[in-house]
């Protein structure tokens, strides 16, 4: 009897999701542990692998809303594996017939195969993005090893050319579960908190000088670049220790004071904004912070972020400056009562000891829940961030 493939539980509060993409077409022979489909929920995208080898049969279509525990496929363990190097004709024919499948013959991926690009060389994430954005992989110049197409290549290709006229003035498509969840949380944060934003600016001359002086040695020792975010994570930890009122949350009529420093760092993905959490950031070195952020960024790009990665943060940092934002008011990430917004670095004239000098300046924005945090505390917190960022050596030396 064929093995049933069910939608796995991906979190206590998640009851359904969308079958995002089939990594293997109907009728294909799959190996044990091989990814067969992705399930998109309102929090994460999870990859489901085959528990056993055999012939795959689809029982649901890509784009269907499915329930946790629902049977979406079966695997016939008695099916013979295709000979090594031979092409599974049934897989090819079934893949071309199923119009709802991501492997439809008229799709860009299949067209790329006809032009000499092997669809098997595309990762599931890249295949999904090319289908989602309607881009022919054959037209993309890959920047990965041996010309392999990366997700960043697809994103770059999607924003550079103008969309061809289709005769339709509008395009309607369903929001993904993740986008629905983001929308609901943002609206809830605006309605359920007394949010207020205060601003300051920081001179990054000293941080930039440190990075310039020690970058090569840092990379050689830690095999990762020294960025700006690690300094600001350290600054936030120091500020939370200085102003503990911001390291708290409301639970009904009670104030819950946090005595740990799990800092969320917002990461932008093609599917939406995710906020993985750096655990015990107060105990991490600059290198440890940079490596943790890089690991999370890769997991986010590859759709490998899990719920434990996103839960339990006490404070969030978001950096709109990477997209060129000069100034903005970030929205709280409940139940946290504070979020720091970083922005683009811009050379501006500033007064230094009675002289006008050109310095690399960044605007900072702190949004906080005024129910818990008073203005004095918020201003002190942001001033502490500024002090640490402008004098990083003092904090690193603990003087």
Q: Please provide the average confidence, as pLDDT, over all residues in the chain.
A: 83
Both 281 and 353 in one domain: the answer is: yes
Instruction: Give the mean pLDDT of 388-393.
Output: 92
187's tokens: 């609206």
Consecutive H or E run containing 231? helix 229-242
pLDDT at 379 over 70: yes
Domain containing 354 equals: 178-396
126's tokens: 């890249």
User: What tens digit of pLDDT does each residue of 193-244 get?
Assistant: 999 999 999 999 999 999 999 999 999 999 999 999 999 999 999 999 999 9
Which one of 43, 66, 97 terminates a domain? Answer: 97
CATH code of the domain in which 339 resides: 3.30.559.10
Domain count, the chain: 3
User: What tens digit of pLDDT does each residue of 145-181 get?
Assistant: 777 787 677 777 776 554 555 567 888 887 777 777 7
* CB contact set of 278 (below 8 Å; sequence gap of 6+): 233, 262, 263, 264, 265, 284, 289, 292, 293
Both 81 and 200 in one domain: the answer is: no
Which one of 97, 127, 151 terminates a domain? Answer: 97
pLDDT at 68 over 90: no
User: What tens digit of pLDDT does each residue of 231-287 get?
Assistant: 999 999 999 999 999 999 999 889 999 999 999 999 987 777 889 999 999 999 999
Could you list the active site residues?
A: 370, 374
pLDDT at 84 over 80: no
State the Cα–Cα distance between residues 266 and 284, nearest whole angstrom.
18
Both 142 and 93 in one domain: the answer is: no
Both 79 and 119 in one domain: the answer is: no
Both 161 and 218 in one domain: the answer is: no
240: left (phi over 0), alpha (psi -120 to 50) or beta: alpha
Consecutive H or E run containing 138? none
Instruction: Give the mean pLDDT of 357-375.
Output: 96
Return the residue matching tokens 């840092």: 218
Q: Is 249:373 a contact under the CB 8 Å cutoff?
A: no
3-state secondary structure of 35: strand
**How many CA atoms does the CB half-sphere of 324 hold within 13 Å?**
0
pTM: 0.67
State the Cα–Cα distance between residues 147 and 141, nearest whole angstrom.
7
Confidence (pLDDT) at 93? 47
């Amino acid at each position: 009897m064929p093995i049933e493939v069910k939608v796995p539980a991906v979190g206590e509060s998640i009851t359904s999701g969308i079958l995002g993409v089939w990594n293997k077409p109907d009728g294909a022979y799959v190996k044990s542990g091989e990814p067969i489909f992705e399930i998109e929920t309102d929090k994460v995208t999870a990859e489901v692998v085959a528990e056993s080898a055999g012939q795959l049969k689809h029982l649901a279509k890509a784009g269907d809303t499915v329930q946790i525990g629902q049977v979406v496929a079966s695997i016939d363990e008695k099916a013979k594996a295709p000979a090594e190097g031979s092409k599974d004709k049934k897989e090819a024919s079934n893949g071309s017939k199923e119009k709802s499948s991501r492997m439809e013959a008229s799709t860009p991926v299949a067209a790329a195969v006809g032009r000499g690009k092997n669809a098997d060389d595309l990762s599931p994430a890249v295949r999904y993005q090319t289908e989602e954005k309607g881009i022919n992989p054959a037209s993309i110049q890959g920047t990965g090893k041996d010309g392999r197409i990366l997700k960043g290549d697809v994103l770059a290709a999607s924003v550079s050319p103008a969309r061809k006229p289709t005769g339709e003035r509008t395009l309607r498509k369903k929001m993904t579960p993740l986008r629905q969840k983001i929308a609901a949380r943002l609206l809830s944060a605006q309605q359920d908190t007394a949010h207020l934003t205060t601003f300051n600016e920081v001179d990054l001359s000293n941080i930039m000088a440190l990075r310039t002086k020690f970058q090569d040695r840092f990379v050689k020792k830690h095999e990762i670049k020294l960025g700006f975010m690690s300094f600001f994570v350290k600054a936030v930890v120091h500020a939370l220790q200085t102003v503990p009122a911001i390291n708290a949350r409301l639970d009904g009529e009670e104030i819950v004071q946090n005595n740990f420093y799990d800092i969320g760092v917002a990461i932008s993905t093609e599917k939406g904004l995710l906020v993985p959490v750096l655990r015990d950031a107060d105990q991490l070195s600059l290198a440890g912070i940079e490596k943790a952020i890089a690991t999370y960024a890769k997991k986010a790009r590859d759709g490998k972020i899990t719920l434990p990665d996103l839960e339990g943060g006490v404070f969030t940092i978001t950096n709109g400056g990477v997209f060129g934002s000069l100034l903005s008011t970030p929205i709280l990430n409940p139940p946290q009562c504070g979020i720091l917004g970083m922005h683009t670095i811009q050379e501006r004239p500033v007064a230094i000891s009675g002289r006008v000098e050109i310095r690399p300046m960044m605007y900072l924005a702190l949004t906080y829940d005024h129910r818990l945090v008073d203005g004095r505390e918020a201003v002190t917190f942001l001033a502490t961030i500024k002090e640490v960022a402008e004098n990083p050596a003092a904090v690193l030396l603990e003087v």
